Amino acid sequence: MLVMNINDIMKVLPHRYPFLLVDRIEEREAGVKVTGFKNVTINEPFFQGHFPGHPIMPGVLLIEAMAQVFGAYIAVFDSHGPDQVTYFVGIDNARFRKPVLPGDVLRMELEMLSKRRGIYQFVGKTYVGETLVAEAELKATFANK
Show the domains of the chain with their CATH numbers.
Answer: 3-144 (3.10.129.10)
Reported as a pLDDT band with limits 50, 70 and 90, residue 52 is: very high
Residue 12 has a CB neighbour count (10 Å cut-off) of 19
Overall residue count recorded for the chain in this entry: 145
Is residue 105 a contact partner of residue 40, using CB atoms and an 8 Å limit? yes
Is residue 145 a contact partner of residue 74, using CB atoms and an 8 Å limit? no
User: What is the predicted pLDDT for the residue at 119?
Assistant: 96
Helices (H), the chain: 6-12, 59-77
Q: Is 103 helix (H, G, I), strand (E, B) or coil?
A: coil
* Residues paired with 27 in a beta bridge: 34
> pLDDT tens digits for 107-116?
999 999 999 9
* Residues paired with 105 in a beta bridge: 39
Q: Do the strands 84-96 and 131-144 form a parallel or antiparallel pair, or are they unpaired? A: antiparallel
User: What is the predicted pLDDT for the residue at 123?
Assistant: 98
Average pLDDT, the chain: 95
Question: E strands within 30-118?
Answer: 33-39, 84-96, 105-116
Residue type, 77: F
Give the residue-averaged pLDDT of 58-76. Answer: 96
User: What is the predicted pLDDT for the residue at 80?
Assistant: 86
Residues annotated as catalytic are: 50
pLDDT of 101 strictly over 90: yes
Is residue 98 a contact partner of residue 112, using CB atoms and an 8 Å limit? no
User: What is the predicted pLDDT for the residue at 61?
Assistant: 98
User: What is the predicted pLDDT for the residue at 83?
Assistant: 84
pTM for the whole structure = 0.95
1 or 92: which leads in pLDDT: 92
Is residue 23 a contact partner of residue 38, using CB atoms and an 8 Å limit? yes
Residue type, 132: L
Reported as a pLDDT band with limits 50, 70 and 90, residue 82 is: confident
